[in-house]
Chain A
């Protein structure tokens, strides 16, 4: 149970970190940068979902 709490804490840190960077610097991103960020964000959550599924969530 404790390990799940750590996973949850890590996930929250990831999301808040990306949220902070997005709030501060997304206005300076180029069009290519925005597209790559979108693709990587989709990939990040997809792989995270697969990981959580694999560990039995």
Chain B
């Protein structure tokens, strides 16, 4: 009887530890392992980070918000791919700018190869000259940057502001 109770309590302890090991396994396999990507956009001395697979980063219909860039100022992009798998990752990466379903310009077209548990960074710069034909007659326009590979496509929408907001004229003091 005593031996049976002893077995029972160790069974409970074993099941509890098994559940704990299962939770650890889920976090490692489902949460940590995989290929993850992060985009950093720098403009106006400010860096915005977009972590694509992070469910807490807001997105709408698969598109992420990249911010608002003033016309005439360049925006620097840094795209980091982390390969947290046991095999190497190889893919063709293309980056292009779109407006209203029309492709405006290709920014990147390169083959990326990342060894197991390593990361790679692809950088590019977007200047207002590349958008000038489209934006010249508008004060504000939205553009989409599409980062495409064979396994995924990331969309980042950002606004381009042509003119600065002009402050109202000062009211003369009486």
Q: Are A43 and B31 in contact (CB under 8 A)?
A: no
In whole angstroms, how far apart are the Cα atoms of A17 and B23 in the complex?
10
Q: Which B residues lie within 8 Å of A41 (CB)? A: 19, 23
Q: Are A33 and B31 in contact (CB under 8 A)?
A: yes
B-side binding surface: helix, strand, loop or mixed? helix
A-side binding surface: helix, strand, loop or mixed? helix
Number of interface residues of B (CB under 8 A): 23
Contact of A29 with B27 at beta-carbon distance under 8 Å, contacts A36-B22, A51-B9 already known: yes
Q: Are B12 and A50 in contact (CB under 8 A)?
A: yes
Nearest CB in chain A to that of B8: its residue: A54
Q: Is B54 an interface residue (CB 8 A)?
A: yes
Residue of A22, A25, A26 ringed by the most chain B CB atoms within 10 A = A25
Q: Are A28 and B36 in contact (CB under 8 A)?
A: yes
Interface size class of A (residues with CB under 8 A): 20 to 34
In whole angstroms, how far apart are the Cα atoms of A33 and B23 in the complex?
9
Q: Is A44 an interface residue (CB 8 A)?
A: yes
Q: Are B26 and A28 in contact (CB under 8 A)?
A: no
Q: Are A28 and B32 in contact (CB under 8 A)?
A: yes
Q: How far is the CB of A15 from chain B (nearest CB, A)?
A: 10
Q: Is A12 an interface residue (CB 8 A)?
A: no
Q: Which B residues lie within 8 Å of A25 (CB)? A: 27, 31-32
Nearest CB in chain B to that of A15: its residue: B20
In whole angstroms, how far apart are the Cα atoms of A53 and B20 in the complex?
19
Q: Which B residues lie within 8 Å of A29 (CB)? A: 26-27, 30-31
Please name 20 pairs of A and B residues whose Cβ atoms are closer than 8 Å in the assembled complex, sorted by A. A14-B20, A24-B31, A25-B27, A28-B32, A37-B26, A40-B19, A40-B20, A41-B19, A43-B16, A44-B16, A44-B19, A47-B13, A47-B15, A47-B16, A50-B12, A51-B13, A51-B16, A54-B5, A54-B9, A54-B12
Known: A21-B24, A27-B56. 7 other contacts (CB 8 A): A21-B23, A26-B27, A26-B31, A28-B36, A37-B27, A40-B26, A47-B15
- Which residues of B are at the interface with A, using a C-beta cutoff of 8 A? 5, 8-9, 12-13, 15-16, 19-20, 22-24, 26-27, 30-32, 34, 36, 53-56
- Which residues of A are at the interface with B, using a C-beta cutoff of 8 A? 14, 17-18, 21-22, 24-30, 32-33, 36-37, 40-41, 43-45, 47-48, 50-51, 54-55
